[in-house]
């Protein structure tokens, strides 16, 4: 007799043993033993190697290009220029078109006639090894007639400024105004207005592994296999199939281990991503291109330069009723990724504050520099810096405490979902904050900081002439954008291990562990018995890519749904095998066990039985063959509308982005001789909804803060007036060592999102977003006794601080 | 970033090494390789021949003899740093080496290599200049000794002839009643300094300042002696209460122009601050050493 | 143990013969003088655990041990290694295949994410702890100074600092236990 459904305990969710736990990573043992498989580690018999000739001129006309001497060098197999790459000599796709892009320009794989930035690829050499390929590059003679350039974004939009593209007036690629509420009315009734101008300078993702592509063409099967250090193998597969006019089925793109991504590994196709496959097909041998560090600085996309003029309209009590922001966004010489960075910045501009009336306007400006696409944070660090420095300024002008002014404006818990009608986010949908406890986060931060103790310490320090200060910044992050991702779960009949596939890639985020945790709980198996395989279009090719802090939100949700379905199927079959109700079955330790008894059947057997067999290829398989007792019955071995084995596939498409948030504070001291920064405490309150693996979440935050420290005080790409990048090396681009990154104290809130079944929000970029504002705010506070001017331009550095103090003292 | 093709020469004696210098039009000397190999990898240097000194005997001897510490040119920086006899003879050496890049680089980098490379921001040339050290160079007509004062010419340029090889570096033993300090500021730990100062300060028997020796790196085209500061220290009235104004005399040596991340005004003030810090530390250590010595004499 | 012979493929560059010991195994090779040790290990010996991150000595991803000391393999020519002993990340695990204390600590403390800088860190930290077992008692700032010289873009170093301390403690405990046993 069937029991009513509601009484069946097994119909409810299984206990969460692994989900939410600090599980050590499945991927580590291999990586720790030096058995990673990055593109350059893949052994390809007979492989030859590529190198590029790159422009040393920012904007110029190629008046002569002679590759003869290079071609004649022994060991050289091919030299490609725009003249001999056939159909590839075309402008590459504009990946995210937006109606506001009036003058979209993208580059060709190899320059034709003109060069637009230092580093642009002009020729591609393939030789027996990289040494010879570089020898050949140095034997190509190229004559470039320099044209006038303007690398300063503000001057680039002036009348008469040199144009990057002659047919793009004012160097403006795109312009957009967005409105929420009625900013004009808010400013008209404002009791106080604060307007500041802030600037964030150019930086780069600098993953430890530079770009890398390898390709092999199989003339027998007609299959092109491409190994690429990309965040988007499915998208790249689509691009290659269409550029080479191959069936998608005949192009397989694999992102093996990837040594960090941080955004720029999703600007496809880079020149190497099309020329390496071309060479492999033409030469009939595997080809590799491993970008070196000096190339990475002038080839892989950059991000960050924006100049904001932000104005707040407030009541005298500090309630911000309106915001206007007008900013310029430097998109470099091309705009391959559309307006994503500027759009994300513009929609993040009001942060965690109620601010009901917003007008935000931006222009994307071409400059003769490396193209700009998203890098960890994607416009949010800039918008956040503008907003949070403006909030500090408003507090100062109104005589309010920096905590207090934030407290008065934070969106309250009962106001969620909080919609900003009129602001369209990068997913094409209006900004809607789904959930949060902003006030609680700020209160927790204040408590952890022990503000009274700090105030006393600061007073003491000031009495001693020391520069001690506190800075803080709130931030929000729209994460987990669509359109969708998928997940497939399959139980292997021989080993009982669980295989999970998704269309994403991982560059260190630990998917092989956190995704496995979700599945392990549903199926009652150990986390290391769940094997996650992703980043291979030959395995799973429905999906989008890894970006926008979306992997756990979107793929995680899809995988969770697939695991729930797999669990249902397991229980159904196990109930038959064990001849008990599903409600009496517990899935644990890789088996289905009858509750309260020792009777159980392993997952492998359940998987085996679920697949009707003719041949008993091993002992276990006997139970699934046609004459086995389990297969008594009249119908077909595989019932209508069922499928063999335990394999489920589900998709998740978020209704809109889910908004993570947090608040960081730092206690900083500035050295009176060197003006160096010492971060004495760095305190984080962070909320990314349900944490699947807090250890991994904390790793993501810490890494984000480290890049944020770079952007606040160390890392700046310095373009000279002629368009040359002055500091294109790790000697001069100051990526922080451990000594330049503070110890971080982390505290979590977990406000689940209602938008997905696992309650998770993204965590990948969060750490980066507030750091520049925290550090600038802290240093400003530290140097307040000197009466220095405002710090509205990052990265800061000791010289800037020195000069600010000197100027204040001379006033 | 792969080196271009070169001929590799592996001499077994200094004479063979010098002969290779003479024979090839364009040679570089490979000692530890920590500065050279990056320039080869970037193809900033494309020499006809690379002369590897690793089999030339005697180039890594370190010995303290009388008033001098003799350091073979190929001595690894790390070995010199860890040498307790050297440290006892002149503690400024270890303190300076702690600021040279990172231990992994010092494991391979050599003392002579760094000095011959003559990076104006590097610590070891500054140390040599501060201490009035000297180097021995071997050329076709044999060995000659060059005072540190006469060695450094310009950015990455010395008075070594193209056919000479630096074989030995000599640092004086630190005199009695002398304090020392090396201090610098770099943007990141282990980077080349924006400014750095090596200092010694020697006290007279009455505890007053007899003289000081100071050199700076990172501030001009070569390491530079801070002569104005040294002159002021010779003044009878020089004492710690005047260190700030004496240090300010260092500012004029700065010639590195403004750049985007470091104004020359900042660099001048930084140098002055470092000089003051170096003077104070040296004074304190000199006083401690003088006191310790006095008490030892009393005890014995 | 039999030695292996490799030949440099660097085009038609003249080659030199070298013999060295890599991970306890004798190796005879014929290499172009300009071949970097990092490329020799990776592409000639197939020891791809040693990674190449910058080829100018700043990032430390290529760190190996040469004659017992940590060194940048990208700043060393393979020909300089004639007669030398080299150890790479592939040799860190125990004879039974277990992770070394440093490797295990990196896993326990989430000291790695993408894994690209990891072999360099493991080699630097292993050498550091060989030289100085007192790191276990060092302050956070001191540990940071000791591991500066290797860049990581993923972890923010927090897990690496913790792993370094944990490994130092493990090694010290093991040593104390061994000393105790000897004395007993």
| Distance of alpha carbon B129 from alpha carbon B150, whole angstroms | 9
Report the distance separating Cα A177 and Cα A327, nearest Å: 10
Q: What's the mean pLDDT when you consider all of chain A?
A: 95
Q: In the β-sheet with B224-225, what is the strand arrangement from edge to edge?
A: B178-185, B195-203, B209-217, B224-225
DSSP string covering C89-133: GGG-S-TTSPPPHHHHHHHHTT--SS-SSHHHHHHHHHHHHHH-G
> CA C90, CA C42: separation in Å to the nearest integer?
11
Q: Report how far apart, in Å, the C-alpha atoms of B143 and of each of A356, B11, B14 are.
A: 81, 17, 10
CATH of domain C4-91: 3.10.20.30
Residue B264 contacts A where some CB pair is shorter than 8 Å: no
For range A683-711, the mean pLDDT:
98
- Predicted pLDDT at A8: 43
Q: Does C149 contact B101 at a Cβ distance shorter than 8 Å?
A: yes
Comparing CA positions, the residue from C73, C47, C69 lying closest to residue C61 is C73
Residue A131: which of B2, B187, B189 has the nearest Cβ?
B2
Q: For residue B294, how many C-alpha atoms fall within 13 Å in the half-sphere facing its CB?
A: 12
Residue in chain B nearest C62 by alpha carbon: B104
> What CATH number does residue B29 fall under?
3.30.43.10
Q: What is the rounded distance in angstroms from the CA atom of residue B40 to the CA atom of residue A340? A: 40
Tokens of A243: 């550029």
* pLDDT the model gives residue B297: 62
Chains near C (3 or more Cβ pairs under 8 Å):
A, B
Q: Which residues in chain B have Cβ-Cβ distances shorter than 8 Å to A138?
A: 4, 43
Q: What is the DSSP letter of A411?
A: P
Does the distance separating the beta carbons of C57 and B3 come in below 8 Å? no
Nearest alpha carbon to residue B27 among B182, B231, B163: B163
Chain B contact present for A793, CB below 8 A: no
Residues from B contacting C (CB-CB < 8 Å) are 1-8, 10, 30, 33-34, 37-38, 40-42, 50, 52, 54, 78, 101-105, 107-108, 188-190
Are C119 and A257 an interchain contact pair (Cβ–Cβ within 8 Å)? no
Give pLDDT tens digits along chain B (300 positions). Answer: 999 999 999 999 999 999 999 999 899 999 999 999 999 999 999 999 999 999 999 999 999 999 999 999 999 999 999 999 999 999 999 999 999 999 999 999 999 999 999 999 999 999 999 999 999 999 999 999 999 999 999 999 999 999 999 999 999 999 999 999 999 999 999 999 999 999 999 999 999 999 999 999 999 999 999 999 999 999 988 899 999 999 999 999 999 999 888 999 999 999 999 999 999 999 999 999 988 876 666 655
Q: How confident is the model at residue A631 (pLDDT cuts 50, 70, 90)?
A: low
What is the average per-residue pLDDT within A278-307? Answer: 98
Report the SS3 class of residue A33.
coil
Contact B274 A135 (CB under 8 A): no
Q: Looking at A199-322, list the stretches that DSSP marks H as alpha helix, in order from N- to C-terminal side.
A: 233-243, 271-283, 293-299
What's the confidence (pLDDT) of residue C13?
Answer: 78
Cβ–Cβ below 8 Å for C116 and A767: no
Residue whose C-alpha is closest to residue C157's, from A679, A361, A575, A621: A679
Terminal alpha carbon distance of chain A? 91
- Tens of pLDDT along C75-112? 999 999 999 999 999 999 999 999 999 999 999 999 99
Evaluate whether A389 touches A198 at the Cβ level (below 8 Å): yes
CA distance A38 to C51: 9
The last residue of one of the domains, among B172, B187, B202, is B172
Are residues B161 and B111 part of one domain? yes
With 60 as the cut, is the pLDDT of residue A422 above it? yes
pLDDT value at position C184?
Answer: 47
SS3 C134: helix
Tell if the CB–CB gap between A259 and C51 is shorter than 8 Å: yes
Asked if A580 contacts A568 with a C-beta cutoff of 8 angstroms, the reply is no
Taking the C-alpha atoms of residue A247 and residue A268, their distance in angstroms, rounded to an integer, is 19
Can you give the pLDDT at residue A9?
45
pLDDT at A614: 84
Q: How confident is the model at residue A624 (pLDDT cuts 50, 70, 90)?
A: confident
In this prediction the ipTM stands at 0.96
Local structure of A650: helix, strand or coil: strand
Q: Domain for residue B57, yes or no? A: no
* Structural domain span for residue B161: 62-172
pLDDT band at A613 (very low <50, low <70, confident <90, very high): confident
> What is the distance in angstroms between the Cα of C45 and the nearest Cα belonging to chain A?
12
CA distance B171 to B153: 20
Tens-digit pLDDT profile for residues A357-409: 999 999 999 999 999 999 999 999 999 999 999 999 999 999 999 999 999 99
Domain of B108, CATH number, reads 3.30.465.10
Select the CATH number that applies to the domain covering C101-179 from these four: 3.40.50.2020, 1.10.150.120, 3.20.20.150, 1.10.3720.10: 1.10.150.120
Q: Is B162 helix (H, G, I), strand (E, B) or coil?
A: coil
pLDDT surpassing 80 at residue A117: yes
Q: Where in chain C is the domain with CATH 3.10.20.30?
A: 4-91
Tell me where in chain C the CATH 1.10.150.120 domain(s) lie.
101-179
- Contacts B52 to C, Cβ<8 Å: 77, 79-80
- As a whole number of angstroms, the distance between CA C144 and CA C142 comes to 5
Distance, in Å, from the CA atom of A377 to the CA atom of B252, rounded to the nearest integer, reads 44
Nearest to B195, CA basis, from B230, B226, B228, B165: B226
The tokens describing B212, both together, are 């000081």
Q: Is the pLDDT of residue C183 over 80?
A: no
Q: Any idea which residue has 């000069």 for tokens?
A: A803
3-state secondary structure (DSSP) of residue A330: strand
Structure-derived torsion over alpha carbons of residues A519, A520, A521, A526, reported in degrees to the nearest 10 = 180
Residues B189, B121 share a domain: no
Assess whether pLDDT exceeds 70 at residue C9. no
pLDDT the model gives residue B291: 85
Domain boundary among B172, B192, B218: B172
pLDDT attached to residue A623: 81
Q: A159: Cβ–Cβ under 8 A, 6 or more apart, which residues?
A: A170
Please state the rounded mean pLDDT for residues A273-284. 98
Measured between CA atoms, the residue of chain A closest to residue C151 is A737
- Contact assignment for C99 to A207 by CB distance below 8 Å: no
Pairwise CA distance, residues C108 & C88, whole Å = 22
Q: What is the tally of helices (H) and strands (E) in chain C?
A: 5, 6
Contacts of A805 in chain B (CB under 8 A): none
Residue B154 touches partner A, C-beta closer than 8 Å: no
User: Do B88 and B147 have their domain in common?
Assistant: yes
Neighbours of chain A (3+ CB pairs under 8 A): B, C
In whole angstroms, what is the distance from residue A434 CA to residue A658 CA? 6
Domain count, chain B: 3
Whether B168 and B182 map to the same domain: the answer is no
- Chain B / chain C CB contacts < 8 angstroms: 87
- For chain A, domains (ranges, CATH) are 11-37+482-652 (3.30.365.10), 43-147+208-260+264-299 (3.90.1170.50), 302-481+655-810 (3.30.365.10)
List the single residue in A673, A726, A731 with the smallest CB-CB distance to B270: A673
User: Can you give the pLDDT at residue C179?
Assistant: 84
Q: Confidence band (pLDDT; 50, 70, 90) for A2?
A: very low
Give chain C positions within 8 Å (CB) of A132: 10-11
């Amino acid at each position: 007799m069937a029991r009513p459904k509601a009484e069946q305990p097994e119909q409810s969710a299984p206990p969460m043993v692994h989900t939410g736990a600090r599980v050590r990573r499945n991927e580590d043992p291999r990586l720790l033993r030096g058995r990673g498989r990055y593109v350059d580690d893949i052994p390809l018999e007979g492989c030859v190697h590529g190198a590029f000739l790159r422009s040393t001129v920012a904007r110029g006309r190629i008046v002569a290009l002679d590759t003869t001497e290079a071609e004649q060098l022994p060991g050289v197999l091919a030299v490609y220029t725009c003249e001999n790459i056939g159909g590839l000599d075309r402008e590459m796709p504009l990946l995210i078109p937006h109606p506001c892009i009036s003058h979209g320009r993208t580059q060709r794989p190899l320059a034709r006639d003109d060069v637009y930035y230092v580093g642009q690829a002009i020729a591609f050499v393939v030789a027996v090894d990289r040494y010879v390929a570089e020898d050949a590059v140095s034997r190509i003679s190229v004559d470039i007639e320099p044209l006038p350039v303007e690398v300063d974004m503000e001057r680039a939009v002036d009348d008469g400024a040199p144009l990057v593209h002659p047919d793009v007036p004012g160097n403006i690629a795109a312009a957009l105004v967005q409105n929420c509420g009625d900013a004009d009315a808010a400013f008209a009734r404002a009791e106080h207005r604060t307007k500041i101008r802030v600037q964030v300078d150019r930086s780069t993702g600098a993953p430890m592994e530079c770009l890398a592509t390898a390709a092999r063409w199989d003339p027998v099967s007609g299959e092109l296999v491409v190994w690429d250090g990309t965040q988007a193998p499915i998208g790249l597969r689509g691009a290659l199939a269409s550029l080479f006019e191959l069936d998608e089925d005949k192009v397989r793109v694999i992102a093996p281990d990837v040594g960090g991504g941080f955004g720029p590994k999703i600007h496809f196709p880079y020149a190497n991503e099309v020329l390496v496959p071309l060479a492999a097909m033409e030469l009939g041998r595997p080809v590799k291109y491993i970008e070196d560090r000096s190339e990475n600085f002038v080839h892989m996309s950059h991000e960050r330069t924006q100049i904001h003029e932000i104005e707040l309209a407030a009541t005298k009590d500090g309630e911000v009723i309106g915001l206007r922001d007008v900013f310029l966004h430097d998109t470099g010489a091309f705009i391959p990724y559309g307006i994503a960075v500027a759009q994300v910045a513009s929609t993040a501009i009001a942060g965690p504050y109620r601010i009901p009336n917003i007008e935000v306007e931006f222009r994307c400006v071409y400059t003769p520099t490396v193209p700009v696409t998203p890098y960890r944070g994607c416009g949010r660090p800039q918008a956040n810096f503008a907003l949070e420095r403006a909030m500090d300024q408003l507090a100062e002008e109104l005589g309010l405490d920096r905590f207090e002014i934030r407290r008065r404006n934070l969106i309250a818990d009962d106001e969620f979902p909080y919609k900003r009608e009129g602001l369209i986010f990068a997913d094409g949908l209006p900004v809607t904050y789904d959930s949060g406890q902003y006030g609680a986060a700020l209160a927790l931060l204040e408590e952890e900081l022990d503000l009274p103790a700090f105030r006393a310490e600061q007073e003491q320090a000031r009495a001693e002439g020391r520069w001690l200060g506190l800075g803080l910044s709130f931030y929000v992050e729209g994460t987990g954008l669509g359109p969708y991702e998928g997940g497939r779960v399959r139980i292997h009949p021989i080993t009982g291990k669980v295989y999970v596939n998704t269309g994403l890639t991982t560059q260190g985020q630990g998917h092989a562990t956190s995704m496995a945790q979700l599945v392990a709980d549903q199926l009652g198996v150990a986390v290391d018995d769940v094997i996650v395989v992703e980043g291979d279009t030959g395995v799973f090719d429905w999906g989008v890519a890894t970006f926008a802090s979306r992997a756990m939100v979107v793929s995680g949700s899809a995988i969770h749904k697939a695991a729930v379905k797999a669990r249902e199927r397991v229980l159904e079959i196990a109930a038959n095998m064990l001849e008990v109700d599903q409600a009496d079955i517990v899935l644990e330790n890789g088996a289905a066990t009858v509750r309260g008894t020792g009777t159980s059947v392993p997952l492998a057997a359940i998987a085996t039985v679920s697949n009707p067999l003719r041949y008993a290829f091993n002992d276990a398989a006997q139970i699934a063959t046609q004459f086995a007792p389990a297969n008594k019955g009249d119908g077909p071995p595989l019932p209508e509308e069922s499928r063999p084995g335990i394999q489920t596939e589900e998709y998740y498409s978020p209704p809109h982005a889910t908004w993570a948030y947090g608040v960081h504070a730092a206690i900083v001291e500035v050295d009176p001789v060197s003006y160096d920064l010492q971060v004495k405490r760095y305190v984080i309150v962070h909320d990314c909804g349900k944490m699947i693996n807090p250890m991994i979440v904390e790793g993501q935050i810490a890494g984000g803060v480290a890049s944020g420290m770079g952007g606040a005080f160390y890392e700046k790409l310095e373009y000279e007036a002629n368009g040359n990048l002055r500091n294109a090396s790790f000697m001069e681009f100051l990526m922080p060592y451990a000594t330049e990154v503070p110890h971080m104290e982390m505290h979590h809130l977990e406000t689940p999102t209602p938008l997905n079944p696992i309650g998770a929000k993204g965590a990948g970029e969060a750490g980066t977003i507030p750091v520049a504002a925290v550090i600038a705010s802290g240093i400003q506070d530290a140097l307040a006794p000197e009466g220095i001017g405002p710090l509205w331009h990052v990265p800061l550095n000791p010289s800037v601080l020195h000069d600010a103090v000197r100027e204040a003292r001379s006033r | 970033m792969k080196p271009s093709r070169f001929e590799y020469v592996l001499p077994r004696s200094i004479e063979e090494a010098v002969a290779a210098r003479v024979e090839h039009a364009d040679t570089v000397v490979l000692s530890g390789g920590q500065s050279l190999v990056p320039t080869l990898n970037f193809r900033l240097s494309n020499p006809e021949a690379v002369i590897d000194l690793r089999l030339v005997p005697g180039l890594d001897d370190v010995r303290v003899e009388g008033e001098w510490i003799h350091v073979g040119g190929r001595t690894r920086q790390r070995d010199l740093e860890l040498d307790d006899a050297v440290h006892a003879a002149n503690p400024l050496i270890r303190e300076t080496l702690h600021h040279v890049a990172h231990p992994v680089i010092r494991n391979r980098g050599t003392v002579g290599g760094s000095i011959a490379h003559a990076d104006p921001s590097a610590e070891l040339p500054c140390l040599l200049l501060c201490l009035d050290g000297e180097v021995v160079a071997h050329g076709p007509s044999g060995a000659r000794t060059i005072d540190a004062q006469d060695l450094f010419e310009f950015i990455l340029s010395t008075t070594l002839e193209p056919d000479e090889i630096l074989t030995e570096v000599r640092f004086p033993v630190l005199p009695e009643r002398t304090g020392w300090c090396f201090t610098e500021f770099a943007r990141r730990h282990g980077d080349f300094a924006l400014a750095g100062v090596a200092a010694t300060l020697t006290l007279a028997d009455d505890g007053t300042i007899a003289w000081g020796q100071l050199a700076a790196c990172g501030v001009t085209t070569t390491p530079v002696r801070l002569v104005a500061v040294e002159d002021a220290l010779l003044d009878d009235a020089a004492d710690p209460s005047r260190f700030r104004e004496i240090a300010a005399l260092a500012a004029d040596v700065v010639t590195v122009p403004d750049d985007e991340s470091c104004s020359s005004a900042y660099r001048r003030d930084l140098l002055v601050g470092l000089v003051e810090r170096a003077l104070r530390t040296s004074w304190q250590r000199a006083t401690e050493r003088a006191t310790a010595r006095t008490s030892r004499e009393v005890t014995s | 143990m039999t030695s292996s012979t490799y030949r440099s493929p660097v085009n038609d560059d003249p080659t030199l013969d070298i013999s060295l010991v890599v991970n306890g195994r004798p190796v005879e090779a014929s290499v172009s003088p300009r071949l970097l040790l990092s490329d020799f290990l990776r592409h000639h010996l197939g020891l791809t655990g040693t990674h190449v991150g910058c080829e100018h000595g700043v990032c430390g991803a290529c760190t190996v041990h040469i004659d017992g000391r940590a060194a940048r393999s990208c700043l060393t020519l393979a020909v300089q290694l004639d007669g030398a002993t080299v150890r790479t990340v592939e040799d860190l695990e125990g004879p039974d295949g277990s992770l070394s204390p440093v490797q295990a600590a990196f896993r326990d403390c989430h000291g790695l994410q993408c894994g690209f800088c990891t072999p360099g860190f493991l080699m630097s930290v292993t050498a550091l702890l060989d030289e100085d077992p007192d790191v276990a008692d060092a302050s956070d700032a001191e540990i940071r100074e000791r591991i500066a010289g290797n860049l990581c873009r993923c972890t923010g170093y927090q897990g690496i600092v913790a792993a370094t301390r944990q490994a130092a403690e493990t090694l010290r405990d093991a040593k104390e236990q061994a000393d105790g046993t000897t004395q007993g």
